[in-house]
Amino acid sequence: MAMDLAVRLVRLFQIAMLVSIALYAVVGETLARILAHNPPNTLFYALSLISISLVGATVVVRRTLVLPSEALLKERSDDSVAVARWRTGYLCLYAMCESLGLFGLILRIMGFTLGNVWGFYRGGFLLLLLYSPRAPRAESN
């Protein structure tokens, strides 16, 4: 029962994050027409480096929080600590993916073109889809 609620919460959070990245793109395009100026390239390079690091961090969080929790939940599905750790791992993953989309919005507002920032939007969106929650099920022998 606790696992079903956790999966539902994580899926709702994932959908909200996917919608917000789409909204970032719309808001960025709207504001980019109003705020047009020459942006500093240093900001683009800094956020690109941070984004690459965040993608690596998502892999680490998945391996250290989500996968061990899934293994525990396959053995004991009623372990509330493992459910909380599984849920927390996914929410941390989604927060990191969301920040990629937010970086795209920041860069777009600063004056970069859509061609420069679409990778941030797309990267965050695709990572959110890639890390879809799967409820661990006990394997039957």
Burial class (CB in 10 A: 0-12, 13-18, 19+), 69: buried
Q: Is the pLDDT of residue 35 over 90?
A: no
**Rg for the chain (alpha carbons), in Å?**
18
Provide, rounded to the nearest whole percent, the portion of the chain with pLDDT above 90: 65
Q: What is the pLDDT of residue 78?
A: 83
Per-residue CA distances from 86 to 13, 69, 100, 102, 103 (Å):
14, 5, 22, 25, 26
Q: For 72-113, how does the pLDDT look when each residue is reduced to its tens digit (9 = 90+)?
A: 988 888 888 999 999 999 999 999 999 999 999 999 988 888
DSSP H helical ranges for 1-141 = 2-34, 41-61, 67-75, 80-110, 114-130
Q: For 9-27, how does the pLDDT look when each residue is reduced to its tens digit (9 = 90+)?
A: 999 999 999 999 999 999 9
Q: What is the pLDDT of residue 66?
A: 92
